Amino acid sequence: MKQKDLLALVEEFESPLYVYDSEKITSQYQRLTNAFKNVNSLRINYAVKALSNLSILKLFKQLGSGLDTVSLQEVQLGLKIGFSPDKIIFTPNGVSLEEIEQVAQLGAQINIDNLSILEQFGTRHPKVPVCIRINPHVMAGGNSKISVGHIDSKFGISIHQMPHLLRIIENTKMHVNGIHMHTGSDILDIEVFLYASEILFETAKHFKDLEFIDFGSGFKVPYKEGDIETNVEELGQKLTQRFNEFCKEYGRELTLAFEPGKFLVSQAGYFLVKVNVVKQTTSTVFAGVDSGFNHLIRPMFYNAQHRIENISNPKGRERFYSVVGYICETDTFASNRRINEINEGDILCFYNAGAYCFSMSSNYNSRFKPAEVLWHKGKGLLISKRETFEDIIRNQLVVDFEKTEKQKVTS
């Protein structure tokens, strides 16, 4: 997208504002499918948690994607937009047996990541197809907060628990139709991912009725100038060859599945904020904006770095600023970042704001969540309204203390 288009959208829809480029989402989806075009059966399940807006889900449905979900509510979002249940996989963590049974009744593919629930579900529903999430104990990403394949992770069933796992399956006679792993986000080394894949292939040999193998995702995207990213073309070439070899060894064609979120929507997203105040202290120049970690928590939560540009003054002299929010907490988006000269009223653009940004927003400090706009074929389409005060108080109930006291005295 061009900066003039972003400025025009802020003019029309005000700030703060999330904008998503449908063309970029489409090209990322096609890039991934092209990388694995030599696999006989490929399935991409978009990770709904990354960005769950209904219009975004509808776009993925048009692209032919399935959905990766982690809650009953995400499954319901997919069904509402028209996804068939067999296009949805449910991969929760730490949820109740009751929630898994509710999703199973809706017809989605169940993926279980702990022995306790696996045994209970298999005992009660042995004929319902189940995928099993394995923890390969491989850390493919560099950040411990977004790597979930390490030995202390709460996700997945350890490969060292295979004897127990196989005993549960034998005792319950349950139907296992898929094997799954997810090592975490920001895969830096393809060879590490391929090593984890070999562990999954070895695990798959224990199951005779598989229909698919799900390799998770976690492909890294560039967040700053010169940043590295996962070479999905190289991964596609190497994993395709090995997957096709395994299918021959296994004796039947299987589906290769991925569940990307960040890779598909991160670079398509822009977060636009207005500068409320430029504040000079003894050592720092602060640019205070009309947002905070209530709208974009990734820099504070994950130490994530989003490129920030002053699109109101793109040719201005560069200075060092600390960009901070209006929340009554330490909500620093960037410290001593080189940015074109900032004046009050300028619009700053945060790049790579499509994944885990709006979906992790909140109403902290009783602030409204921003609007969302989809940039589609040269036009900005409102896909989520800016919240109002009525939205904040809609589900709150005010206690009538006087009435309560009177009732207490009367009784």
Active site residues: 328
Torsion on CA atoms 164, 170, 175, 177, rounded to nearest 10: 50
CA distances from 122 to 92, 126, 276, 299 (A): 16, 5, 57, 41
Among residues 1, 31, 41, which one has the least CA distance to residue 219? 31
Burial class of residue 187, CB neighbours in 10 A (0-12, 13-18, 19+): buried
Among residues 384, 382, 299, 376, which one has the least CA distance to residue 26? 376
* Residue 182 and residue 218 in contact, taking contact as beta carbons nearer than 8 Å: yes
* Residue 183 and residue 137 in contact, taking contact as beta carbons nearer than 8 Å: no
